[in-house]
Amino acid sequence: MDNVATRDKVRAPSFLAVDFFCGAGGTTRGLIDSGGYVVAGVDKDGRCARTYADNNINESVDYAPARFLNYDVFPQTDDYEAGEQEELIAKLDSLLSYYRGKAVGVPLLFAICAPCQPFTTLSRKELSDRRKKGREKDRGLLTEAAEYVSRYMPEMVLSENVAGIKDPKYGNIWEDFRARLDQLGYVTGSKVVCTSRFGVPQYRKRSILIAVRKELVREERFVDLMETELLVPDADPNSMVMTVAEAIGHFPPISAGETHPEIPNHRARALSELNLKRLASASPGESNAYMANTEFGDLSLDCHRKVNARLSDHCFSDVYTRMYPDRPSPTITTKCHSISNGRFGHYDPDQVRGISLREAATLQSFPDDYVFYPIDQIEPVARMIGNAVPPRLARYFATYLVNSLEGRGQQ
């Protein structure tokens, strides 16, 4: 008999959560998979709303979809009229009061995975003045998110960002965020990890910051006897390294420009005749040096020849190439559909195409039934996939955090 009363006996949440800067829901998916109930995801980009809500149904309490709160986290000021902090706080006050009443004694986790573009040098090239100002504003997202932590004092905080966020050129934003959490009474830990060591079939180095309110931390989670720092694992001992072939080999073949009629998002970008020749000449895992000598002649790009000659080196060696089948994939980016933007060619020589959006999502560790919208477009979906936190990574660290609380389970 499928009713709420029956299901409530089966499973209660391990924690409640709010996912700030949730995007299409990679972190939320991991939080739900780790046994949490996600009260809401917050993001100012409403284009992610359907993808987020349709794919993230909670598995406890009321079995409702995680709510997508389309708000800007900054306060409204004369200089920044788009701020919606007051409205967001009112909404969170209501939701958290209600769900803390429904799940009495269940700890609260804030996931704060701010957009990484402000901390990626490549992304700041050739931006309009308006977008540059937006990126500069976004550098303050962690600082602003700390004010939400101060207001609600969740038992746990999880943050993920690019590996280079600690670089001094970004103004010590990561360390300032960590210092603010320390000041609020949390014990924190931070480390750069590779997602391939957490069951994600992808080489993707990320900075992880975890925090637990000091009075709640299990003793064995501290790095030192002074109890000033949390231990951050650099691998999941229960996960094996997964290769590209193991991850996406089960998807049926498609051609460049084709969309599979039954598998959502299994869609590959079309290729020009010249790029079809290039990729047809590429072997899995090799550099693009092959282009200089193919059965179709020299297919090298003029701009690459000039750079290589000037630097006496072979540059841009991963573009127009195929993935290694027996390794994790390279980092999946927002341009993962384009073979001219990285090693994004399918590893199978019989498939002359870049990876599909569905395959890219799988390499990010999204489940195969996670559907991205609009389903008939490539660029918006690729952006969601490339910007996402891998669900498996979020699942691991959420579980680790819950098990770091005194009196909770062991890991």
SS3 of the chain: the string is CCCHHHHHHHCCCCEEEEEECCCCCHHHHHHHHCCEEEEEEECCCHHHHHHHHHHCECCCCCCCECEEECCCCCCCCCCCCCCCHHHHHHHHHHHHHHHHHHCCCCCEEEEECCCCHHHCHHHHCCCCHHHHHHHHHHCCHHHHHHHHHHHHCCCEEEEEEEHHHHCHHHCCHHHHHHHHHHHCCEEEEEEEEEHHHHCCCECCEEEEEEEEEHHHECHHHECCCCCCCECCCCCCCCCCCCCHHHHHCCCCCCCCCCECCCCCCCECCCCCHHHHHHHHCCCECCCHHHHHCECCECCCCHHHHHHHHHHCCCCCCCCCCECCCCCCECCCCCCCCCHHHCCCECCCCCCCCECCHHHHHHHCCCCCCCCCCCCCCCHHHHHHHHHCCCHHHHHHHHHHHHCCECCCCCC
pLDDT score for 5: 47
Residues 234, 310, single domain; the answer is no
Q: How many whole angstroms separate alpha carbon 264 and alpha carbon 164?
A: 34
Residue 61 lies in a domain: yes
Would you say residue 372 lies in a domain? Answer: no
pTM: 0.92
In a domain, 3, yes or no: no
Are 25 and 152 members of one domain? yes
> Does residue 166 lie in a domain region?
yes
The confidence score (pLDDT) of residue 301 equals 86
Same domain as 216, residue 176: yes
**What is the rounded distance in angstroms from the CA atom of residue 169 to the CA atom of residue 172?**
8
Q: What is the pLDDT of residue 174?
A: 95
Domain check: are 170 and 65 in the same one? yes
Q: Tokens 């009629």: give the residue.
A: 261
Statement to judge: residues 62 and 141 lie in one domain: yes
Sheet with 205-213: strands ordered across:
67-69, 36-42, 15-20, 108-112, 156-162, 205-213, 186-194
Residue 328 has a pLDDT of: 98
Number of domains the chain is built from:
2
pLDDT at 124: 46
Cα angle 352, 358, 330 (rounded to 5 degrees) comes to 70
Q: Which domain, by its residues, includes 273?
A: 252-355
Q: Compute the Cα dihedral for 382, 283, 286, 313 and give only its sign.
A: negative
Please tell me whether residues 258 and 230 are part of one structural domain. no
Classify burial at 400, counting beta carbons within 10 Å of its beta carbon; exposed 0-12, middle 13-18, buried 19 or more: buried
Same domain assignment for residues 296 and 175: no
Q: Is residue 90 part of a domain?
A: yes
What is d(CA 272, CA 299) in angstroms, rounded to the nearest whole number?
13
Residues 224, 284 within the same domain: no
One domain, residues 230 and 325: no
Structure token digits, residue 191: 């480390």
Looking at residue 63, its pLDDT comes to: 96
Output phi, psi for 183, to 5 deg.
-65, -35
pLDDT of residue 302: 78
In a domain, 2, yes or no: no
266 and 151 belong to one structural domain: no
The predicted pLDDT at position 307 comes to: 63
For residues 21 and 93, state if they share a domain: yes
Q: Is residue 381 part of a domain?
A: no
pLDDT for 8: 44
| 236/258 same-domain check | no
Would 214 be classed as within a structural domain?
A: yes
170: domain CATH number is 3.40.50.150
Q: What is the pLDDT of residue 10?
A: 46
User: Can you give the pLDDT at residue 128?
Assistant: 57
pLDDT beneath 50: ranges in the chain: 1-3, 5, 8, 10, 122-124, 411
